[in-house]
């Protein structure tokens, strides 16, 4: 889609918004080569169902299996780079009067692209903590050739209490971090434009955020290749990937600004 094909109303909404909320899902990271959570696993992990590994019960039953899987996932993510969508969202923050970025992704690519104060609803692969006392745990940098090869790994012990260090993600059956959710819900209720990007809008409570914004009178815009349950609520549905649509959207909304080098011409 070229900037000539972008709806003029959307450009006006972007320029005029006092507070933009951006909610992102797995579709944004998929364009960096990161498989979605429900994609088939490879190698050693192909015999496991990720839905059964991502639970507190699985970690209690076999900490080495679960820790090894998450370390494998984390090193896979570290080998990927932020794409044009991640960088466009970071750039959008410099144009918007106020922007709140809320993500369901745990890969840290928004932060690596330059976004600040990201509200990570489902935690982060890069911020593990102690299962017992909650103390944050700093992960060592992997030496060349030392990255996990896709096998069980014994989790580190907490130096404070001796319990297992666990992945810093929200597992099935766990509550979202209360402070992150409260900030996300507050932002959705206070914004005048919400962009839902690359998410299927099926996972609650994150899927409720566009509904909160809509009830408060905000415009809801969806960017997704396929229809979702959000379609009837959205004031505008743009079909396509975020990496394809967001760069021309920024160029069209702020043509007088010199685009950064990463924006395709």
Please identify which of the residues 86, 122, 126, 164 carries the catalytic annotation. Answer: 122
186 is in an annotated binding site: no
Whether a cis peptide bond, with omega within 30° of 0, leads into 252 is no
CA dihedral 144, 146, 147, 150 (to 10 degrees): 140
User: Is residue 56 marked as binding?
Assistant: no
The answer to the question of whether 179 is labelled as a binding residue is no
Annotated binding residue 133: yes
Mark whether 19 is an active-site residue: no
Residue 88 annotated in ligand binding: no
242 annotated to bind ligand: yes
- Among 80, 79, 92, 84, smallest CA distance to 20 is for 92
Residue 60 in marked binding region: no
The answer on whether 200 is annotated among ligand-binding residues is: no
Q: Please check if 73 is assigned to a binding site.
A: yes
80 is in an annotated binding site: no
130 is in an annotated binding site: yes
70 is in an annotated binding site: yes
Q: Which residues pair with 239 in a beta bridge?
A: 224
The answer to whether the beta carbons of residues 147 and 75 sit under 8 Å apart is yes
List binding-site positions.
Answer: 70, 73, 104-107, 130, 133, 158, 161, 224-226, 242
Active site residues: 122
List binding-site positions for substrate.
Answer: 70, 73
List binding-site positions for Zn(2+).
Answer: 130, 133, 158, 161
């Amino acid at each position: 889609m070229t900037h000539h094909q972008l709806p003029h109303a959307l450009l006006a909404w972007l320029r005029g918004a006092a507070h933009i909320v951006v909610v992102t899902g797995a579709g944004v990271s998929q364009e960096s080569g990161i498989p979605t959570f429900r994609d088939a696993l490879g190698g050693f992990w192909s015999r496991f169902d990720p839905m059964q590994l991502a639970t507190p019960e699985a970690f209690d039953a076999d900490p080495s299996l679960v820790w090894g899987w998450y370390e494998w996932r984390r090193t896979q993510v570290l080998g990927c780079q932020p794409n044009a969508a991640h960088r466009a969202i970071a750039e959008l923050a410099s144009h918007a009067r106020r922007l709140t970025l809320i993500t369901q992704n745990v890969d840290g690519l928004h932060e690596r692209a330059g976004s600040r104060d990201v509200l990570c609803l489902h935690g982060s692969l890069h911020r593990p903590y102690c299962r017992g006392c909650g103390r944050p745990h700093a992960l060592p940098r992997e030496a060349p050739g030392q990255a996990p090869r896709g096998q069980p790994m014994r989790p580190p012990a907490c130096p404070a209490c001796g319990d297992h260090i666990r992945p810093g993600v929200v597992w099935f059956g766990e509550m979202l971090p209360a402070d992150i959710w409260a900030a996300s819900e507050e932002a959705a209720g206070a914004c005048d434009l919400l962009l839902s990007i690359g998410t299927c809008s099926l996972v609650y409570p994150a899927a409720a955020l566009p509904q909160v914004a809509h009830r408060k009178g905000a415009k809801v815009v969806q960017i997704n290749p396929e229809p979702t349950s959000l379609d009837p609520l959205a004031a505008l549905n743009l079909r396509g990937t975020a990496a394809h649509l967001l760069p021309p959207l920024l160029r069209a909304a702020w043509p007088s600004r010199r685009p950064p080098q990463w924006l395709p011409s």
